Structure 1
Amino acid sequence: VAPEASMAKPLLKIQRYFRRKPVRFFSLILLYLTAGSLVFLHAGFVGDNGPGARGGRDSLIASEMGSWASSDTRGLGLMSRVFKEKRRSGRRFGPPWMKKTRQEAKYIGCYIDDTQKRALRGVSFFDYKKMTVFRCQDNCAERGYMFAGLEFGAECYCGHKIQAPNASDSECNMECKGEKSNVCGGPNRLSIYRLELSQESARRYGSAIFKGCFHRPDNVTLALPFSAVIQNMSVDKCVDMCTEREKSLAVLAGDRCYCGFPTPLFSLHELEDEGMCLNRCQGEEFESCGNDKYFVVYQTQVQDNRCMDRHFLPTRAKQLVALASFPGAGNTWARHLIELATGFYTGSYYFDGSLYNKGFKGERDHWRSGRTMCIKTHESGRKEIEAFDSSILMIRNPYKALMAEFNRKYGGHIGFASQAHWRGKEWPEFVKNYAPWWASHTLDWLHYGRNVHVVHFEDLKRDLFTKLKGMVEFLGLKVSEDRLLCVEGQKDGNFKRSGLRKLEYDPYTPEMRSNINELIRTVDAALKKRNMSGVPEEYMPR
């Protein structure tokens, strides 16, 4: 009897448990949901592996899209390809040692690349720290290019066609700097992918930049060697044609489209009134297509590669040339311009890893190595200045330079300081310490420098061709006008702030302005004392 009684006790407890209505109700619901979930999961696994499951989904998609497909079969082809791509198993493109890449890009091989004649002649960018295959593909796809190529583990090139022979896959053997398990080309070797552009890429070649109205060059066939007559001419048609031809300029002259690059014969320096180009396009009534005498010019997204090759000096430099400036005065931008204009790397008194990763390869060299064209420095002591044989001294409006350096200090090279920094104690303290340095830096270089070539940041922006030409001549190199015109087309580089986050108020107090204005007058007088032009008018207090 005792064993039976002991077995009955648990049953009685369970019975009492379910007599409590709320508890019984929720317990049943829980059991029901658990059982349903198990059945659902089981059906899902069986359905995915079953022979008829995939065909059923395909037929459903086809039936849902049937009426639309009859009106646009090309769209159906694109959509069906997208669905197939999503279902595709882990297929790998490219060499066997490469990881699976994104499904919208197909690896097509390793190709030879020549710095004088690139295999892919669209835009390019470098990142010697974070480059990956995906990042390169995404950047090229966003700009509407058909091919993306990676080289030297850190360089990305885009283009609409490959203009070089292929090489053995084993020659593309350098790991990506930002993804060690993937391959990013090799020395003078490109790992090239074909991109399948998404529907979001509405225009195949992206937007072009309007350059203005210009007079017909004297020898148009020599200035713009490729041309064609286009029926129902529009800006898009001309831009697309010149982009396919890998030309950076699309020039409209009525029903004729010219393609080329800026040259001394067609430099784009003499802008005409836009009214001279008013001539409605045949294919687009709201656009002007120019005429036989006055051309409408657009800059395509094709990168002009005539100034992209850069090297270290072939022989050790006999003199050390400084590129001196107060921080925030445009030194990095000036380095970018000098490298493109001369074809040689610039060095630095310091080492900035972020600059090296962005393509300034001379950053790692010791500043006395003699392998670079000139040396960036912000130093202003007598000993440091006299270590150089000559110098290019960059000067910028202190109001702009101080704000630029404050942004760099608290936001990085192309970032911005936060509102908390501007409104906090950091900004007044910064101006107090840095404003006098702006003046003393210039005065020290004027006093101790042996051969000083002064360049004002604002003048360089206004007349880049002339001022940069003077800088190249000061460095003792022969000037290539074609190369300078190439620089004009890509003058900004990777170190320009967007300008979208400008302060909505004046950060300078009246006391700050009074002190800075006095410093401006001091520098202006020092320049004029040495028979140089004073500071630009916009510096002077009003």
Structure 2
Amino acid sequence: MLCDKMRYNLPIAGIVLILILLFSMKTELSPNFDRTSLSAIAFGINTKTSASVLEYTLQAEAMIDLDPNTFRCEVHDMGCFILVPPSQKIFGKKHPKITDVKFDEETLITREICINSCFQKQYTLSAINAAQNCCMCSTGFEGFISSREIKADTSFVKAEKCRSSSTFHVYSKIRDCEKGVSKESLQQNRVGCLDIPKTLNQFMIALSSPQLLIEQCILNCEMRKYTFAIPVKQKGICLCSDSYSLFRTVDNMTQAMARCGDENNLSNSDEIVEVYRTTVNDEHCEPRRFLPPKQNKPILLASYPGSGNTWIRHLIEIATGIYTGSVYNDADLYEGDMLGGFLSAISGRTIVIKDHLFGLKISIIYTMAVLLIRNPYDATLAEFMRMNTQGHIGVANNDIFRKPGFKAFCKNQLPSFWFGITKVVLKTFVDKVVVVYFEDLVKNPIKEIRRIVEFLPKEIVGSDEESLERRLMCLNLDLAGKFKRPPRKLNSDPFDELLRGEVDKSIENMNELLLERNHPPLPHSYFYHIMNVT
């Protein structure tokens, strides 16, 4: 019987032998001889659609069956700091609640154990010192990593990029930890859809499983420290990748994010796969950093209040990887991860410095400027809302715009202050200014932030195109940030005709000034009311 099998398989063995001989002669036969195609022919596979997929399918490692209840925590990686003594005074805020988490001596405190322990106790920050096997929790940065005596940048530098034995790696909460991969997590972290990747590079891996589960694919990629998981259920393959290897450009990522569409079409497709973001922090995105002292000459980030200055700071920080500063020492923004807010404007350690130019005077310290402009009506409404909710994202009833205080506020702000900021910035900096419209930023944030980064000094932000694409991909996944107020609609016009006439005239005058200085014209929406009344 065994001999019968051998006789039956002999022709196949002969064919395989011939193919092997041909392969060994490939350099003589053709310099472009395709090994994958040869393998496909030998196994009767359609090379037109499956050859490149077969390549990494054959090389795939077996997927590990991980605990489906594995702890997973989504956090911002703030980097390493030296914790300040609790007795030190803090700036403008009561001392945060701080505690150290007690574990059994034999327990090895991992990142997830520390983070989950802190979050379960309603803390928003967790800090782990692996060398000391120690975990600390806090409700705020000030009094935890910084104080009046020790600023955040000093604490950051003393940590020696996580090399100091007294270093604590700090994480800021995005959402509560969970056991395993929940349906809600799958929905929140689905980035988009793309065609099945045909090839893998050295920064991607393939894992095989006869019964592929999306949850197991994500857990396996997280275990291997990859930021993206791509379950190729059609092939029983799980791909793990970083952002750049997968998308190459931020535009490709944007297309993938918009592609999934109809779920039924997706489930019936043999060529399209879903892409999921894991809980692994992308080292190209986080943590942000402080520049060395005096490295950067102060750059002004000017805007009329309510124009989205805080939001654009968030976008610039992610796109450059460098903290922004402010002249206002805003404790709420500091506790919202904007750790450059308490530094001196002349420290040279931040990339841009927020300044609303009250009094229409520009400090001589500034060397160039980013000018953010927003429709004056929308900006005034947003700023009045912020003042009446005591917060950057608070929302109140639209009735507040009917109060007498609103009209008084408008008279003090519009139109002279709104137009005045643009006039003084353009006059002071001439060609060392980039003008950005809030409305364009909302419509195409990646394009506008790319313009800003390309305007900033190359010796500070760098000139490597791949690095910029990576950071813009990070930005693409976190466009809103923590301080972008949701849009709202008004039932009536809160501005009277007299004020509107003055403001509309300022809009026309500002547009003429911008065009004279070779800047783009104001967005068409600024003139909508003017066209309706004339």
TM-score for both structures, normalised by structure 2: 0.61
Give 1:533 deviation, angstroms. Answer: 0.9
Check whether the contact 2:380–2:410 (CA below 8 A) recurs between aligned residues. Answer: yes
Matched, 1:430 2:400: no
Matched, 1:488 2:476: yes
Give 1:345 deviation, angstroms. Answer: 2.0
Comparing both chains, which one has the higher relative contact order based on Cα–Cα distances under 8 Å and sequence gaps of 6 or more? 2
Structure 1 residues 272 and 373, CA gap change in structure 2 (3 angstroms): closer
Give 1:495 deviation, angstroms. Answer: 0.8
Alignment partner of 2:305 out of 327, 348, 352: 327
Aligned partners of 1:394, 1:319: CA distance in 2, in Å?
A: 20
Q: Secondary structure at the match of 2:362?
A: helix
Give 1:314 deviation, angstroms. Answer: 1.4
Structure 1 residues 244 and 406, CA gap change in structure 2 (3 angstroms): farther
Matched, 1:156 2:133: no
Structure 1 residues 234 and 274, CA gap change in structure 2 (3 angstroms): farther
Give 1:277 deviation, angstroms. Answer: 6.5
Q: Deviations over 1:151-170 (max 9, x none)?
A: 9xx97369xxxxx993225x
Check whether the contact 2:203–2:245 (CA below 8 A) recurs between aligned residues. Answer: no
Q: Give 1:21-40 correspondences, 5 Å limit.
A: none
Q: Which runs of 5+ in 2 are unaligned?
A: 1-68, 72-76, 81-92, 102-111, 145-164
Aligned partners of 1:197, 1:465: CA distance in 2, in Å?
A: 31
Structure 1 residues 296 and 410, CA gap change in structure 2 (3 angstroms): same
Aligned partners of 2:257, 2:169: CA distance in 1, in Å?
A: 45
- Residue of structure 1 equivalent to 2:424: 444
Task: From the CA coordinates, give the structure whose radius of gyration is larger.
Answer: 1
Check whether the contact 2:346–2:365 (CA below 8 A) recurs between aligned residues. Answer: no
Q: Give 1:287-306 correspondences, 5 Å limit.
A: 288-289=266-267, 293-300=271-278, 303-306=281-284
Q: CA RMSD in A?
A: 4.5
Check whether the contact 1:524–1:535 (CA below 8 A) recurs between aligned residues. Answer: yes
- Residue of structure 2 equivalent to 1:342: 320
Q: Which runs of 5+ in 1 are unaligned?
A: 1-77, 79-104, 106-112, 117-126, 136-144, 159-163, 281-285
Aligned partners of 2:177, 2:328: CA distance in 1, in Å?
A: 43
Structure 1 residues 523 and 128, CA gap change in structure 2 (3 angstroms): farther
Give 1:402 deviation, angstroms. Answer: 1.6
Check whether the contact 2:294–2:348 (CA below 8 A) recurs between aligned residues. Answer: yes
Q: Which amino acid aligns with 2:130?
A: N
Q: Secondary structure at the match of 1:523?
A: helix
Matched, 1:214 2:182: no
Identity %: 30
Aligned partners of 1:188, 1:434: CA distance in 2, in Å?
A: 45
Q: Deviations over 1:467-514 (max 9, x none)?
A: 223322322121422122112212222112244x65454434555444
Alignment partner of 1:389 out of 353, 357, 367: 367
Q: Deviations over 1:419-456 (max 9, x none)?
A: 44222112222233222121221122112234211112
Q: Which amino acid aligns with 1:495?
A: F
Structure 1 residues 380 and 165, CA gap change in structure 2 (3 angstroms): closer
- Residue of structure 2 equivalent to 1:417: 396
Check whether the contact 1:223–1:260 (CA below 8 A) recurs between aligned residues. Answer: no
Give 1:378 deviation, angstroms. Answer: 0.4
Aligned partners of 1:261, 1:486: CA distance in 2, in Å?
A: 11
Check whether the contact 1:223–1:263 (CA below 8 A) recurs between aligned residues. Answer: no
Q: Secondary structure at the match of 1:493?
A: coil
Give 1:261 deviation, angstroms. Answer: 3.4
Aligned residues: 393
Aligned partners of 2:480, 2:385: CA distance in 1, in Å?
A: 18
Aligned partners of 1:227, 1:128: CA distance in 2, in Å?
A: 51
Matched, 1:258 2:239: yes
Q: Give 1:348-427 correspondences, 5 Å limit.
A: 348-379=326-357, 381=359, 383-411=361-389, 412-427=391-406
Larger mean Cα displacement after TM superposition, 426-435 or 265-274? 265-274
Give 1:180 deviation, angstroms. Answer: 9.1
